[in-house]
Amino acid sequence: MVPFSVLDLAPITEGGTAGDALRNTLDLARHVETLGYRRYWLAEHHNMPGIASSATAVVIGHVAAGTTRIRVGSGGIMLPNHAPLVIAEQFGTLDSLFPGRIDLGLGRAPGTDMVTARALRRDLADSADRFPEDVAELRAYLSPAVPGQRIRAIPGEGTKVPIWLLGSSLYSAQLAAMLGMPFAFASHFAPAALMQALALYRSRFQPSEALQRPYAMVGVNVIAADSDREAARLFTSLQQSFVNLRRGQPGRLPPPVEDIGSFALPAEQAQLEQALACSFVGGPDKVKDGLAAFIAHTQADELIVSGHIFDHAARLRSFVIAAEMREALARTAESEGRRITSGQTPGGAE
């Protein structure tokens, strides 16, 4: 069956601290490792009061040290914020500490606002335009050194840490296809170009040493509970967070409310429906049916699941339900004689 992975932004909740968020992150990683999730990825964001994963490589090390088998990586590192050599050294170090368990997902957005981007010492004039060159430079640093190579990533060279390209538009889909790299689409918050990007990536894919066939991972939100009503209530935390961001008032993850209509204006609710269209919210049966239809529609090779939930215990429960629904889908597919594996898997084939 299509494997499930986890995307975590290490949410800082109202009334909580960054330390609480990072402890919850490790607890969740250990939890989903026992449930059979394949990867645990963390995202780089800056100047966001509700996100504790800004020092992404550090948090990856924290999670990898506290788990034993699950792959741990970035979803993603915003490469224009960094020198490729620094990222090669960071992820080369992580791979040296945790061999064969580290993934490096790359994005080309700043992961923040433009004022903060300047504080990160970004050259805003052309940093994003250099993304293909920076990707090539980074891949070279993680490959075996060649004779006469003057700049080397130590640790890093020869580790061949699996590199993914991430995106929410057609740009990264085309680049990933051209370079023969695995591709992850951020449909959990920007679904508009999902199907077009997948079609473009698959049709233009060029085999490479790293990957012989296209491999697409798709982002979804799963907010699952024991009843549809409770899941809908839990979902309002993510909805409020999105509305606050659109209002220019980012903050910590708020507790749920009974009715999002009491918080968001009708126009804001319409924006939520569009941005969060790839969300599966409900009890077990509703989530299972939604995921089955989505997998059939997208033909995703892997799903990466985000569960932005205020209450940590409810968050743990949501990932249990999602894992159970994945197993139910696998049993159904097997009983119907359908092919339930996606073939080659970049970084950690099973």
What's the average model confidence in pLDDT over 88-111? 94
Using a 10 angstrom Cβ sphere, with 0-12 exposed, 13-18 middle and 19 or more buried, the burial of residue 50 is buried
pLDDT at 51 over 50: yes
Q: Which pLDDT band, with edges at 50, 70 and 90, does 333 fall under?
A: confident
Amino acid letter, 288:
K
- Using CA atoms, how far apart are residues 54 and 43, in angstroms rounded to an integer? 7
Percent of the chain at pLDDT above 70? 93
pLDDT digits (tens, 9 = 90+) for 88-99: 999 999 999 999
End-to-end C-alpha distance for the chain, whole angstroms: 11
- Using CA atoms, how far apart are residues 183 and 174, in angstroms rounded to an integer? 10
pLDDT digits (tens, 9 = 90+) for 271-304: 999 999 999 999 999 999 999 999 999 999 999 9
pLDDT digits (tens, 9 = 90+) for 122-144: 665 666 678 999 999 999 999 99
pLDDT of residue 36: 97
pLDDT at 110 over 80: no
pLDDT at 340 over 50: no
- Class of CATH domain 4-335: alpha beta
* Nearest residue to 16 via CA among 62, 64, 52, 60: 52
Phi and psi at 273, nearest 5°, equal -60, -35
Q: CB–CB of 1/289 below 8 Å? A: no
The two tokens of residue 131 are 């993304």
Q: Who contacts 179 (Cβ-Cβ below 8 Å, separation ≥6)? A: 135, 165, 206, 208
- Using CA atoms, how far apart are residues 117 and 80, in angstroms rounded to an integer? 10
pLDDT at 349 over 50: no
Domain positions in the chain: 4-335
What's the average model confidence in pLDDT over 15-23? 98
pLDDT of residue 350: 39
pLDDT digits (tens, 9 = 90+) for 153-169: 999 999 989 999 999 99
pLDDT of residue 19: 98
What's the average model confidence in pLDDT over 31-43? 98
pLDDT of residue 347: 66
